[in-house]
Amino acid sequence: MTANSYGFDTLAIHAGQEPDPRTGAVVPPIYQTSTYAQDAVGAPRLGYEYSRSGNPTRDSLQECLAAIEGGQRGLAFASGLAAEDTLLRTVCRPGDHVVIPNDAYGGTYRLFSKVAERWGVDWTAVPLDDIDSVRAAFRPGHTRLIWSETPTNPLLNVNDIALLAGLAHEYDAMLAVDNTFASPYLQQPLTLGADVVIHSTTKYLGGHSDVVGGALVTADAGLGDELAFHQNAMGGVNGPFDAWLTLRGIKTLGVRMDRHCDNAERIVGYLREHPAVASVLYPGLDTHPGHEVAAKQMSRFGGMVSFRAAGGPEAAVAVCNRAKLFVLAESLGGVESLIEHPGQMTHLSAAGSALEVPADLVRLSVGIETVDDLLADLEQALG
């Protein structure tokens, strides 16, 4: 099944998930096995030998991921960072250089600054919404990759995917886009020229805060084959039950994202008028510097909202601590609403660096609850 033949919701429900040929089960089985009986020496049945190398449940998920992102090859991993690490070590060598966002996710920053850098991969953090800064950061012959998040975590800046792809290809480099915040329902970077898409499937794709996973989807089958080799060689795969849970979540991605967006828009409107809020960060606002680009490359603006507390850092922490229906927790993209203080939680690894986030920032992952209940909770939390 491909994006050219079916609509998004049809692909999310059916791609890679045909009824089981033996029993007719409409949901793919969980192949909870580590190894497989072979028909003869050198003749594994259907190509399955060992579940690190291949598992039918994971294969179902990988086929679905490729279909909903409009890609040639999908690969599933144990976490988003396992996917990122596999991508880096597949396309980069010691001496290579990567351009990353100056407001990257804290875990991504840690991967570059504490792991890849020691392995000989250099990096430069620049505002990716400033194409001149990106071009100035390029080191011809050494820059292998532009690493984009759009919208970014947690400042919700927007990068022009088509523009970055053109620049990367001009220098014989690649563009990787972390599409976790938008999800493939709202944005499909491969159709805009990106070479590979990254996901923490823990977030919107899984959607229920009950599974951890990651994914890579490629526009080119050859790159997909290289990544698949490293997926097996490095071993950061997800288990069959995790793959099954992620598939289950993807089936309702479209209807969930519609509600996430509806609720987020109501909450943004409320926050903009509240005296305890200094500013609201959301790409759907026409005052957002990336609004026009977001409107061009996204179908809607997502369920993530950040704001800066008028009372400063102490007020931001107090809002997080007073929230009740909004659960104080890391992660995002689940059906339940979450609130966090990025500076002391998800982005603590960037403290003291050029990527440090404002101490008065609060990040909301707006869930799919009754929106009036969410608004009432914010009212009491904001005081």
**Each residue's pLDDT tens digit, 196-212:** 999 999 999 999 999 99
Please state whether the peptide bond connecting residue 19 to the residue before it is cis, i.e. omega within 30 degrees of 0. no
Interval 208-245: pLDDT, tens: 999 999 999 999 999 999 999 999 999 999 999 999 99
Catalytic residue among 59, 85, 129, 178: 178
Catalytic residue among 36, 48, 105, 282: 105
pTM given for the model: 0.96
Answer whether 8-248 and 254-382 agree in fold. no
Q: Which sequence spans correspond to the domains of the chain? A: 8-248, 254-382
| Pairing status of strand 143-149 against strand 97-101 | parallel
Active site residue 52: yes
Catalytic residue among 9, 52, 122, 266: 52
Instruction: Say which CATH topology domain 254-382 has.
Output: Aspartate Aminotransferase, domain 1 (3.90.1150)
Burial of 52-84, coded b for 16+ CB within 10 Å and e otherwise, reads: bbbbbbbbbbbbbbbbbbbbbbbbbbbbbbbbb
Active site residue 262: no
Q: Which CATH architecture has domain 8-248?
A: 3-Layer(aba) Sandwich (3.40)
Active site residue 105: yes
Q: What percent of the chain has pLDDT over 70?
A: 99
Catalytic residue among 73, 144, 203, 300: 203
Chain centre to alpha carbon of residue 138? 25
Active site residue 270: no
Give the model's pLDDT for residue 2: 65
